Amino acid sequence: MVFGGLAAIKCREPRMSESNRRQLFNGRDLSGWEHVGPGGFAVEDGCLKSEGGMGLLWYTDEKLGDCSLRVVYKAGRYEDNSGVFIRIAGRPADPWFAVHHGYEVQINAGQDEWHRSGVIYSMSRTWQEPDRPAGKWNTLEIEMDGELVRVSLNGVLVTDFDPAAPVPPRQRDYEPERGPRPARGYIGLQNHDAASIVHFREVSVRPLAG
């Protein structure tokens, strides 16, 4: 694993092979997005770059449900922390609303099976750790199918979450409150802390096949 800092980042245009895939981040500015909480996101060389935190950049134009959400990201260090929020119940006034009224798909390599990349944070476990080394691009595919959430990381299915199944009890005050989330909700990206720098070059969505 690479533990050093990021070299200069250059983002290529995402390859949109599926004709029905729609880009939510335009690669130029934050049109359609709004930030709440400390820190923020900058747009650099076609990427979103997390800064400071803990904050949330959320997509304001629509709620999403029954779709496949693709997020392509790169962490500067192995321990950098971020997350992709889905099914946020309403317009978040602060980042903790998303924590307790949505699901976080974690971005953080090397934690335990309930808190590492690809999990529904503290509610599902991952079966594998297919993270690429720090400085390399990773692809999350988050499939929302009714109440179910399936997450693949770099083409490997890592968790299959059914909210109707038992989940572990909440262990820490920063873990999400348990309970149902809506089948349709807002999505967002987390800027976790001042030390964690994560770049995002694609946030896109397509309808589920069939």
CATH code, domain carrying 183: 2.60.120.560
Domain containing residue 144 = 23-207
Does 11 map to a domain? no
Tens of pLDDT, residue by residue over 144-174, are 999 999 999 999 999 999 999 999 999 999 9
Q: Is residue 173 part of a domain?
A: yes
How far is residue 112's CA from residue 119's CA, in Å, rounded to a whole number? 10
Q: Which of 144, 157, 156, 140 is nearest to 201 (CA)?
A: 140
Is there a domain that residue 1 lies in?
no
Q: Is 139 left (phi over 0), alpha (psi -120 to 50) or beta?
A: beta
Is residue 6 a part of any domain in this protein?
A: no
Helix ranges (DSSP H) in 133-206: none
The pLDDT value recorded for residue 210 is 61
Whether residue 116 lies inside any domain: the answer is: yes
The number of domains in the chain is 1
Q: What does pTM read for this prediction? A: 0.91
Residue 131: inside a domain, yes or no?
Answer: yes
Contact between 178 and 184 (Cβ < 8 Å): no
Percent of the chain with pLDDT over 70: 91
Confidence of residue 209 (pLDDT cuts 50, 70, 90): confident
Does 12 fall in a domain? no
